[in-house]
Chain A
Amino acid sequence: MSLINSAPEMAITTRVDDLLNWTRKSSIWYMMFGLACCAIEMMQTGGPRADLERFGMAPRATPRVSDVIIVSGTLTLKMALRTKILYDQMPEPRYAISMGSCANCGGLFQLAYSVCDGVDKVIPVDVYVPGCPPRPEALTEGLVKLQEKIQKERWLVRKAEPVGVRA
């Protein structure tokens, strides 16, 4: 019998979830998946002025130890096949941030024959950060949104029933 999503929603069980999520969101390790121009802005965001380390984020080279993949830059069709392989190698729970117009929807390269219009054609994306390239402040806002998303997850407490019209 597993403990995951098993407990009713009480004060003490939600506290456990909050504690788990707080530790997880304060130490998100991102995989350096810098493809194009947005990679330079990602490096600048990791630099001294708009520091990513203060969020607990550290760049990792391999997908096996990273929590989030920041897809920064244009995804070509040749690269899209490899992106799927890399995302599959990340252990769960895993997230994906699509940084920049090219990763969101193809950007100004939608006219190109060799560009995959958006990384969400190959991997599921959690946060989209617009910009060409996004400023460091925009990327940090995207990370804060991801942190809010992580904070709302449920591990011990039973997940809420989805609200809406059933088909």
Chain B
Amino acid sequence: MGLAGFEVEVQRETESGLVTEDMTLSMGPQHPSTHGVLRFIVRADGEVMKEAIPDIGYLHRSIEKIAEKVGWHGFLPYTDRVDYVAAMFCNHGWTMAAERLAGIEVPRRGEYCRVIADELCRIHSHLLAAGSMAMDIGAFTPFTHAIREREYLNDLFEELCGSRLTFHYMRIGGVGWDLPPGWAEKVLTFLARFETVVDEYNRLISYNKIFTERLADVAVVSAEQAIGYNLVGPNLRGSGVAYDVRRDDPYSVYPELDFDVPVGRGEMGTVGDCFDRYIVRIEELKQSCRIIRQCLRQMPDGPVIAKVPRNFKPPAGDCYVRLESARGDMGWYVVSDGTAFPYRCKIRTGSFAAISIVQAVSRDIMIADLIAVIASLDLVAPEIDR
């Protein structure tokens, strides 16, 4: 299970005459702080790392190959599992690609339902990201706060589509069901309470001195490096690049909505450090609340799904659609050959690029800082391995 071409540095002598050697540690694949099954081969000189090489593939479930076997409609439950923490976005990506290939237009009410589901899912995902980041740094209590808030969201999702985690809410041509009666009021009650909870969270942990000192100036990623490695979403915005697919390349009904895009400002340290990536996510929580309120006010009446044949056969061709998932710009490259089964589906996710930058930024930081880097990049194993 070793790696070919991986060398350990030979012994060297320090000034005091002590002979030292680098340690090679295997962090993972089962580890409480790696977000899922990831493995890092860490070469360290005591506590300071020389490099951390990621080793992935422990959750490779061949979702892309399964697309070729189960057909266009049948692939939707599998898209939930591509990124189970933010499953609505994956549903949305696949349905957008299929609709683009076949030229189907989704009714306006269906689009608004999709955006509401997407933004609630963004809150769902960012809460877990922030909570597990705090837990990894060492603070256990904010994690339980985040889990508690997620339970309220789970109740809302369960009423909407029947499931707490892998939603399968969207269909090709729209969404599965309309909003249940009384659900909109429950969402507004939740949002009213949630915004006070975000302020409480900020007072509790975000500007806590220990927390900021663990994160400020750690693993600074410059804007050029971020673009070169194709970091997306909060990782990219944390490095100062103001790009958000919802605003700069809009899809669905986002052109009609009004929201801000938070960008890292180097508040506590340098632009592009771990703290910036974290605080961008916290600020996005409030923007999502704003978007959901606007959607609930502006929603028109009407059908929520277009007429799509059960035997769905889009014309031959390929397309590449992108949407702003919780972890950033998620790209779906779908090739159709005119039959009822997709020919090829490639999912380009933000976490795959983010983990490849870990090797570059992990020089001369401590092993404990590696945990902060992994948590701030918001890696999830299913997105990396698919």
Within 8 A of A (CB), among B323-360: none
Known contacts A40-B128, A47-B147, A49-B151; A111 and B70 CB within 8 A of each other: yes
Whether the pair B31, A79 counts as a contact (CB closer than 8 A) is no
Q: In the assembly, what is the distance between CA of A86 and CA of B31, in Å? A: 11
Q: In the assembly, what is the distance between CA of A108 and CA of B74, in Å? A: 11
- Chain B residues contacting A48 (CB-CB under 8 Å) are 144, 147-148, 151
Question: Is B165 in contact with chain A by the CB < 8 A criterion?
Answer: yes
Known contacts A41-B165, A44-B154; A114 and B85 CB within 8 A of each other: no
Whether the pair B77, A44 counts as a contact (CB closer than 8 A) is no
- Chain A residues contacting B78 (CB-CB under 8 Å) are 108
Question: Is A61 in contact with chain B by the CB < 8 A criterion?
Answer: yes
Q: In the assembly, what is the distance between CA of A37 and CA of B128, in Å? A: 13
Q: In the assembly, what is the distance between CA of A114 and CA of B81, in Å? A: 15
User: Which one of B29, B37, B63, B84 lies within 8 Å of A40 (CB-CB)?
Assistant: B84
B371 to chain A, nearest CB (A): 13
Q: In the assembly, what is the distance between CA of A36 and CA of B30, in Å? A: 12
Within 8 A of B (CB), among A63-93: 73-74, 76, 78-79, 81-82, 86
Within 8 A of B (CB), among A30-76: 32-37, 39-41, 43-44, 46-49, 59, 61, 73-74, 76
Q: In the assembly, what is the distance between CA of A71 and CA of B4, in Å? A: 30
User: Which one of B57, B77, B166 lies within 8 Å of A78 (CB-CB)?
Assistant: B57
25 residue pairs of the A-B complex, CB under 8 angstroms, read A36-B59, A36-B81, A36-B84, A36-B382, A37-B81, A37-B84, A37-B165, A37-B166, A37-B382, A39-B36, A40-B85, A41-B165, A44-B150, A44-B154, A74-B59, A76-B59, A76-B60, A76-B61, A79-B58, A79-B59, A108-B77, A109-B61, A111-B66, A132-B166, A133-B166
Question: Is B14 in contact with chain A by the CB < 8 A criterion?
Answer: no
Q: In the assembly, what is the distance between CA of A44 and CA of B157, in Å? A: 15
Within 8 A of B (CB), among A85-132: 86, 108-109, 111-115, 132
- Bits for B1-36, please: 1 = Cβ < 8 Å to A, else 0: 100000000000000000000000000011110001
Whether the pair B37, A111 counts as a contact (CB closer than 8 A) is no
- Chain A residues contacting B164 (CB-CB under 8 Å) are 41, 44, 133, 135
Whether the pair B144, A78 counts as a contact (CB closer than 8 A) is no
Whether the pair B29, A79 counts as a contact (CB closer than 8 A) is yes
- Chain A residues contacting B69 (CB-CB under 8 Å) are 111
Known contacts A37-B84, A43-B147; A112 and B165 CB within 8 A of each other: no
Whether the pair B147, A76 counts as a contact (CB closer than 8 A) is no
- Bits for B230-268, please: 1 = Cβ < 8 Å to A, else 0: 000000000000000000000000000000000000000
List residues of chain B with CB under 8 Å of any chain A CB: 1, 29-32, 36-37, 57-63, 65-66, 69-70, 77-78, 81, 84-85, 128, 144, 147-148, 150-151, 154, 164-166, 381-382
Q: In the assembly, what is the distance between CA of A52 and CA of B381, in Å? A: 25
| Nearest 5 CB-CB pairings of A with B | A47-B147, A37-B84, A112-B62, A61-B32, A79-B58
Whether the pair B58, A78 counts as a contact (CB closer than 8 A) is yes
Whether the pair B60, A44 counts as a contact (CB closer than 8 A) is no
Whether the pair B151, A35 counts as a contact (CB closer than 8 A) is no
Known contacts A44-B147, A78-B57, A108-B77; A115 and B62 CB within 8 A of each other: yes
Q: In the assembly, what is the distance between CA of A112 and CA of B385, in Å? A: 13
Question: By CB atoms of chain B within 10 A, which of A36, A113, A114, A133 has the most?
Answer: A36
Known contacts A39-B36, A44-B154, A61-B31; A74 and B61 CB within 8 A of each other: yes
Q: In the assembly, what is the distance between CA of A46 and CA of B143, in Å? A: 11
- Chain A residues contacting B85 (CB-CB under 8 Å) are 40
User: What 12 new A-B contacts, CB under 8 Å, besides A49-B151, A114-B62?
Assistant: A36-B61, A36-B81, A36-B381, A40-B128, A44-B151, A47-B148, A61-B31, A76-B57, A108-B77, A112-B61, A112-B63, A112-B65
Q: In the assembly, what is the distance between CA of A125 and CA of B343, in Å? A: 38
A108 to chain B, nearest CB (A): 7
- Bits for A134-153, please: 1 = Cβ < 8 Å to B, else 0: 01000000000000000000
Question: By CB atoms of chain A within 10 A, which of B59, B65, B166 has the most?
Answer: B59
User: Which one of A35, A61, A76, A133 lies within 8 Å of B165 (CB-CB)?
Assistant: A133
User: Which one of A35, A78, A81, A109 lies within 8 Å of B36 (CB-CB)?
Assistant: A35
